[in-house]
Structure 1
């Protein structure tokens, strides 16, 4: 999107001072491609970064002006400098670092210790882009900026005729003390208003900072690329390169794993026994979408979203309770079959009279595009697991035939809502100019691949290819809903393994890039968020205000399958995806338990919910983890997200010789096999980053871990270890 060139008053004054500067710089250093200079210009302490494209980045390093004549002390470091200014308002300390490498990095952090209780005045965006002459540059293209509580990042180029692109990252984790004390959110605080971009520190009148307490007010990283990406894949790669480069500089939170084996049992019990999870329709029982949600008819997506992970758990660890849930849900799937369209539909046809039309999709013959495909995808996996009878398999085939009819009608570009009978478009775009449900083509392709696996019919493979190729028209913005974008990435990778067509692989990585941008690379740690893990939250939609358990757990499972397939087929994935995707899985795993009310203090839970009832003692997850100032669970307890712990347990827990002890692995497992007296497994990821493992159950033995030349031990007294990613681990025990 193009931006107009407008400059704020404070920056106009700064431009004038730079043009008239007379004093010797306080500090100067060249780390190609940067020329770094710190100037003390009257009341300003200014950093300028000269770029090889004849542009300059300018920032006032202090959020309040110095007094005229105020001294600034400078202390050199190996790769930078520390500047200290003592003022009547308090002391400022500015750390400036320059790191060389494939992508040289500029980092500056401003810390303020107030000498009195005070509040800051409103500030402009902290970074100004100028031509080398001091003139305002032509507006460039903005490819990325912060949305709500996602990462505080921007990515821009410098406009037509000027080479180069710039990535700006504000480490919002460092600002949590400031946000806590002024009781303000850090949502939407990093923006672009050309030629200004970056952090606009929130201020709240009457909310003061404490005397003598140090506050980080900026923790900024800048990366400059000498070329300007044009094609979607190149744009995506540069953002990922920058994201990964910064990620490795951050002090990320340590992930603590939990007793998932116990939590699974709690969840299984409540899912089976709590009456608020279920509603009865004649002879069949159906899951509610939310706890105590009796206002809406049963939904096929809800039943199958829980059926599949519970079935996988039951096949691995059979028991009477999981068997009863599987049998109940499986027997009810056919009730969603709509004879009129010859397909499994979203709402149970017999109960659509309950729909009150209070929302766009709550009408009997209205289809939200992704809802047609998602239940069928899970049903395909159920059938592939050997469950379901001939009738259900035929209903699946008929449903996929209807899906093909819809896909061809829309030429593989789906709207948001359409009429099931006429296929008339009722809502074409999510928002003006945003397009429809762009990633449904990838979800549809994944469904076609599963239909091909189930039947062997080559027409399904052809359909998958056609739908997958339709995604390229959306450029570098494919995301509509996170889990569907993840399935699109899986489908594209699988098509690459079948065809060898590298365009499929590039588009697959582009889908993953969309998901990695749609995360929060910061640890909120203010308000209610001090009670749950917020680092690397993955948001369900590109404009959603919170992370949601359903989409996070489905993406986690999809990423694990993706990395397993990529490892097995030796896919040449970018180093950035190989590094960041396992980290995302690690942090989702660490967060899953935070969605369950028994794991949260009562005072962070919502007193009123949108749908149903919040029972704080039940192991049914809340839907939402949002901004730290928002209560948790305002949407309701999400029954259709109740598969989360089962999914994680099946994927990440390794039985240690019996079903009494397990090893909970905090990274995606890409290989595992039994060895003499133990198990050997390999995870995805980089060996320069680590993940936790935890011993679970009732361990009576001591377990030896071998990672390369390192030997570690797990036992009841030392149940947790940190291991390097991307390595083979051998875990042995004595019989």
Structure 2
């Protein structure tokens, strides 16, 4: 028996008696029928296997809705209705073009009077025969947390009818939130059988009379399949999400001048005294600008060093700061425990214990493996000191893994392995994705040494991830690294379990993004579409985790070039990367107005004129920069430039593409070839960018094998922009 609210009981009874259909359409195995009851417009969706769900497109509490106009279109209908509270315009559309039918219903309200909305019922009720919701059952696999996507993914299990992914386009709610000073966070949720979107309650400001305002824009994808296991569930989720994403209105991106941004950031990183501290004979990066109280952390040093190495290899420039940082790395090694330490041992005395982990020899589980991963990358590039530190610490990492049976707590003592904090929250377990990060480290050790024992460790850890589902996600960058490691394990072993686990990690990533633009309050000052949250319950997005996920997803596509991965995965990864290249510039406080920045940071200080990224960007009604300016997020620009700006020998321009690419080949005959990745149902930007003052040569951009060139558009600064399809081979030639 399902518990129901009074609104659901009333709605179920009205639906059971509804007989006059305003509109009806069959799409695949689903029948869509529009009804108008006393106070609501419902879209009832019946399924071949006996189940049904109802979606509320309009609601007028305690009032009689009157249909003033009904107009059918080729794929749906348009309704105009009125009641005592105002006039409603409802659009219903059923799209059958893709792999799964998608229902879209959107609603605009013109209030008759200034209107407060203290409560609004959710817009989905799972119903059985005759509209009775009592004896059906289902499962909610995932739903919105905070200001993440307004999403709910569920399956009707009795009767075994269908799986559904619902996505509320919260971008459309911007004017409502602006008028009423409300947030779109936590607006989609509920429990079976009463779920979906509920308008945020208004307590400060009312909706204004006489002004049309969007109050809903919902997309619902249907699949007759019920996932039989975890692997099927995450595959279905990714496929349904991509299906809806293709139809979702998306904001325009803007070209950001990353070469200029990098130059400013590099200058401030090297010259601003707040970015570094001296301990003994060595200089170290601070975690945050002007944070002199916290001892140096090895994670911070390597999180900046590796992106700098990417930049140096791309540009050919030498940076003395890299040698300075490398010189200090051996000081993190503890010869008694035989491992690198989180905190610089020579400065551990500065720790005051104001936070759980800020004590000598206390390790946050992922903090051990992340530096090891970066040391292994340096070692594989031939760095002898990094190799010694990595291999000198690897047996300690294995000892810890075995001690905890490949299920790591949050904090533990490095010398005794005493658990100081076992779970992230009561009943939630420890840092689940550390097993994948550990597997990544072990694969790196195997590549470096050829020793089979490391590969065996990677497989042992990977197998413990089975069963986590969407809960795999602890920290975004580590989950993304895990996805790449599992893909590599699949390629090494041929065991499809690891490929499915890599999809599970990616599903965790895409569950924790924001597929809407927060265009109210301070959110009007920056793009937020497709932003990624660092933790599964974090209230803000963060630069460091985002830029590392960005790099990890680039690597995922690189390793998948000879693997037939899901089309939905290629599509979603490419789009995340495209929007990050657009958004990431707004982590720099110089890009934001003064009034949206916190005056005092939790750690260090915030200098608006410093091109060091803020750690945190918040919901539109909250100021940003509360945590501080994140020195270890400085890899932002250094990661973007080498992956999206291609240099051509002896030419004075860059080829910029905001999608991931592969196979860039600059020949000697004034011609370059490469492949744009992603999906051909979507487009990306290619820009020919001048390095200096000289005009661009006469260039031709074409799809490989086609004679007709792609038309470009001259833009500011003398550059030329092109719109290209994803998943296409491109050829550029010039005189």
SS in 1 for 2:500: helix
- CA distance in structure 2 between the partners assigned to 1:686 and 1:542 by the alignment: 28
What runs of 5+ residues in structure 2 fail to find an aligned partner?
Answer: none
| Residues 62/28 of structure 1: CA separation in 2 closer, same or farther (3 Å cut) | same
TM-score by length of 1: 0.95
Q: Counterpart of 1:730 in 2: which secondary structure?
A: strand
Deviations 1:457-477 (A, max 9, x none): 332222222222222243453
Match of 1:490 in 2: 484
User: 438, 456, 464: which is aligned to 2:458?
Assistant: 464
Indicate yes or no: 2:538 matched with 1:505: no
Q: Which position in structure 2 is the counterpart of 1:263?
A: 261
Residue in structure 2 matched with residue 565 of structure 1 by the alignment: 559
- State the Cα distance separating 1:167 from its structure 2 match: 1.8
The answer as to whether partners of 1:415 and 1:429 remain within 8 angstroms in 2 is yes
Deviation at 1:44, TM superposition (A): 3.2
Cα distance between partner residues in 2 of 1:215 and 1:658: 55
Correspondent of 2:7 among 6, 10, 23:
10
- Hey, what does 2:34 align to over in structure 1? 38
- Asked if 1:725 is matched to 2:726, the reply is yes
TM-aligned CA distance change 1:656 to 1:674, over 3 Å: closer
Contact 2:284 2:328 in 1 (8 A): yes
Counterpart of 2:625 (choices 624, 628, 633) is 633
Whether the 8 Å contact between 1:33 and 1:52 is mirrored in structure 2 is: yes
1:375 equivalent in structure 2 = 371
Partner of 2:219: 221
- Alignment correspondent of 1:126: 123
Does residue 620 (structure 1) correspond to residue 593 (structure 2)? The answer is no
SS in 2 for 1:374: helix
1:263–1:658 Cα change, 3 Å: farther
Match status 1:687 vs 2:680? yes
Q: Return 618-627 or 495-504, whichever deviates more.
A: 495-504
**SS of residue paired to 1:97:** strand
Question: What residue is the counterpart of 1:403 in the other structure?
Answer: 397
Residue aligned with 2:373, SS: helix
- Could you tell me how far apart the structure 1 residues matched to 2:401 and 2:590 are? 43
Supply the distance in 2 between the matched residues of 1:68 and 1:209 (Cα, whole angstroms).
Answer: 20
Alpha-carbon shift at residue 147 of structure 1 (Å): 0.5
1:385-412, Cα deviation, whole Å (9 max, x unpaired): 23354xx432221111211111121222
* Distance apart, 1:265 and its partner CA: 0.6
TM-score by length of 2: 0.95
Matches within 5 A, 1:171-182: 171-182=169-180
Q: Please tell me whether the aligned partners of residues 40 and 59 of structure 2 are also in contact (alpha carbons under 8 angstroms).
A: no
> Partner of 1:353 in structure 2?
349
How far residue 172 of structure 1 moved from its aligned partner, in angstroms, is 0.9
Kindly indicate whether residue 644 of structure 2 is the aligned counterpart of residue 652 of structure 1: yes
Give the corresponding residue for 2:103: 106
Measured after TM superposition, the shift of residue 456 of structure 1 is 2.8
Which stretch of structure 1 is more off in the superposition, 124-133 or 10-19?
Answer: 10-19
1:81-480 to structure 2, matched below 5 A, reads 81-100=77-96, 101-135=98-132, 136-159=134-157, 162-319=160-317, 323-389=319-385, 392-480=386-474
Shift of 1:161: 5.5
Alpha-carbon offset, residue 12 of structure 1: 1.8
8 Å CA contact retained: 2:137, 2:159:
no
Contact preservation (8 Å) 1:235, 1:476: no
Label 1:403 to 1:187 Cα distance change in 2 as closer, same or farther (>3 A): same
The 8 Å contact of residues 436 and 481 in structure 2, kept in 1 or not, is answered as yes
Which residue, 534, 542, 546 being the options, matches 2:536?
Answer: 542
Judge conservation of contact 1:142–1:192 (CA < 8 Å) in 2: no
Give CA deviations for 1:429-461 in whole Å, capped at 9, x if unaligned.
Answer: 111222211111111111122222223333222
Cα offset for 1:662? 1.4
Q: Deviations over 1:234-263 (max 9, x none)?
A: 111111121111101012112212111111
Q: Does 1:606 align with 2:602?
A: no
Distance in structure 2 (CA, Å) of the matches to 1:613 and 1:495: 43
Q: Counterparts of 1:564 and 1:325 in 2: how far apart (Å)?
A: 29
Could you tell me whether the CA contact under 8 Å between 1:166 and 1:222 is conserved in 2? Answer: yes
1:718 is displaced (CA, Å) by 4.5
Aligned-residue CA RMSD (Å):
1.9
SS of equivalent to 1:662:
strand
The residue matched to 1:471 in structure 2 has which SS? coil
Which deviations, in whole Å up to 9, do the C-alpha atoms of 1:365-389 show, x marking residues without a partner?
A: 2111110010111111122223354
Q: Deviation at 1:65?
A: 4.1
CA contact (8 A) 1:330 1:388 kept: no
CA contact (8 A) 1:695 1:714 kept: no
Q: Name the counterpart of 1:58.
A: 54
Paired with 1:111 and 1:146, the residues of 2 have a C-alpha distance of: 23
User: Residue in 1 aligned with 2:72?
Assistant: 76
**How far apart are 1:217 and its partner, in Å?**
0.8
Alpha-carbon contact 1:5-1:194 (below 8 Å) kept: yes
- Once residues 654 and 595 of structure 1 are traced to their aligned partners in structure 2, the CA distance between those partners, rounded to angstroms, is 24
